[in-house]
Amino acid sequence: MPHQHPDRSPDETSVAEVTRPAADAAPTVAASPLPERAGWLRAVADALDAQRDALAAVADQETALGLPRLTGEVARTSGQLRLFADVVEEGSYLEVAIDHADPDAAPPRPDLRRMLRPLGPVAVFAAGNFPFAFSVAGGDSASALAAGCPVVVKAHPGHPRTSRATGDLVAEALRDAGAPDGTFALIEGFEAGRALVTDPRITAIGFTGSLAGGRALFQLACSRPDPIPFYGELGSLNPVVLTPRAIVARSEDLAHGLVGSFTLGTGQFCTKPGIVLIPDGSGFETAVAAALGETEPATMLTDGIAERFSDGLARLAHLEDVEVVAGDPDGAVAGRAAAPVVLATSTDTLRAAADRLLEECFGPLTLLVRYRDEDDLDAVLEVFPGSLTAAIHAEPDDLPMFGPIIERMTRLAGRVIHGGWPTGVAVTWSQHHGGPWPATTAPLHTSVGATAIRRFLRPVAYQDVPDPWLPEAVRDGNPLGVPRRVDGRLEVAPPQA
């Protein structure tokens, strides 16, 4: 389970050196018994926990995210792996459905047995803003391995030493747990990433990153002779609506909550609240400026990210009818350090300059947009692009007036939040971390939570296939003990001993 060393040429030949073993391993990985595959995931989780402090120290040197944040992120990563181990053992992810033959049906029905099967080798493009949870051993890798797919990770250039250390740990843990050679590999380099997308052995892509980079790779995946699924998380504004009653009831708390959310991680979260819709004349701008106070600049992940934030901030702050509420747009960035900035404008200006104001600016910036009434709010939400999240802060008496806004948000985002802020994504069975374009390229799917496994599986129906030739999950007698829908009735398997 090698990784590509940085002194090697990242061309198609070297990429083939890891995709070929992945393709060779794919049938064995796909056929691995569910408890065994779950054991692989738990072995990686245990190895991460054992090296938590050492990994966090390396990551802090490269990202300046701080040891508390990074040690917590390692714990989240190992927790994700253990969740997917549970998902594998529970078995409902296979979506088994069996309809026995019925010669008296009109027309006569054959014996049909359907389940989900692994796609094959999966390429994962690691994220820069989460060096563990969305990186080498993160959710994409965990869910692909859980599905029964070998994984080739393209490391993020923002934390190469962290990626190599994690990659070596994952490879060793999988090998020691009995996974076949080729189950996991790590590569580095821009050209290697492009070659990975076009490699004919790769069957799907998981990506977290910028809209520009993700779109380029998405188009590359679609232009292959054999197009493959590209599951990209690309960008999100995560609009938040504050009602007049909410501001009257708790303006100060809301202001502190907003500041804490949009400055978290120096604004480098995909769930950062980038636009907050506030009632015109509410005075909430003053509360936000006071809550921001003398917030100190914080270090951004890379020089490139800091430079792009500075450029984006300048473009927004100098638009006509956009005012500065707090911070100094012209002096916010010095080197990799960035100070938070709050801007404000009207819904009319937002509509007129939607192509610029509705573009994600990755960093500690939020834009307050003043709406006149409920009709104005409803209309301006129409122009928003798809987002990962949409949130509303309201009071009980707001329900008759603002209840329909929830439906608008449902069409806009993949996670609708009441009374909270979008930063912080629980890793659970019920989580959905996706949304309409440009939030993701595939809004049917999530990159966080148990159903992330669905991205790397495809349905196969077996018609009149003799029982001994069938996969165990769809055989008579349910030898795996997994939940199944048989002749239209859900059969929940008894707990396995």
Distances in Å between the Cα of 482 and the Cα atoms of 97, 133, 458, 477, 491 are 11, 29, 18, 11, 9
- Residue 452: which CATH number? 3.40.605.10
Per-residue pLDDT tens over the stretch 407-432: 999 999 999 999 999 998 999 999 99
State how far the Cα of 467 lies from the Cα of 27, in Å rounded to an integer: 20
Residue 251 covered by a domain: yes
Residues 42 and 139 reside in one and the same domain: yes
Note the pLDDT of residue 3: 47
Evaluate whether 414 touches 446 at the Cβ level (below 8 Å). Answer: yes
Query: What is the pLDDT averaged over residues 432-453?
Result: 96
Evaluate whether 43 touches 173 at the Cβ level (below 8 Å). Answer: yes
Residues 295 and 409 reside in one and the same domain: yes
Residues 178 and 314 reside in one and the same domain: no
Is the pLDDT reported for residue 9 higher than 90?
no
Residues 168 and 253 reside in one and the same domain: no
Per-residue pLDDT tens over the stretch 197-234: 999 999 999 999 999 999 999 999 999 999 999 999 99
Residue 91 covered by a domain: yes
Evaluate whether 417 touches 389 at the Cβ level (below 8 Å). Answer: yes
Note the pLDDT of residue 452: 98
Q: Looking at the 3D structure of the chain, how many domains does it have?
A: 2
Per-residue pLDDT tens over the stretch 342-398: 999 999 999 999 999 999 999 999 999 999 999 999 999 999 999 999 999 999 999
> What are the start-end ranges of the H helices in 263-381?
284-292, 303-317, 347-352, 354-357, 374-381
- Residue 336: which CATH number? 3.40.309.10
Residues 214 and 252 reside in one and the same domain: no
Higher pLDDT, 235 or 99: 99
Residues 36 and 180 reside in one and the same domain: yes
Q: Which of 233, 285, 360, 361 is catalytic?
A: 233
Contacts of 72 (CB under 8 A, 6+ apart): none
Per-residue pLDDT tens over the stretch 71-124: 999 999 999 999 999 999 999 999 999 999 999 999 999 999 999 999 999 999
pTM: 0.94
| Known catalytic membership, residue 270 | yes
Instruction: Check whether the bond before 438 is cis (ω within 30° of 0).
Output: yes
Q: Given pLDDT bands bounded at 50, 70 and 90, which one contains residue 1?
A: very low
Residue 489 covered by a domain: no
Residues 198 and 342 reside in one and the same domain: no
Residues 371 and 267 reside in one and the same domain: yes
Per-residue pLDDT tens over the stretch 287-338: 999 999 978 899 999 999 999 999 999 999 999 999 999 999 999 999 999 9
Residues 263 and 193 reside in one and the same domain: no
State how far the Cα of 112 lies from the Cα of 255, in Å rounded to an integer: 57
| Known catalytic membership, residue 233 | yes
Residues 96 and 157 reside in one and the same domain: yes
Q: Which domain holds residue 31?
A: 12-234+442-457
Note the pLDDT of residue 12: 54
Q: Which of 73, 89, 149, 270 is catalytic?
A: 270
Per-residue pLDDT tens over the stretch 246-279: 999 999 999 999 999 999 999 999 999 999 999 9
Residues 37 and 180 reside in one and the same domain: yes
Query: Residues of 4-38 as b/e, b for ≥16 C-beta within 10 angstroms?
Result: beeeeebeeebbbebbebbbebbeebbebebeebb
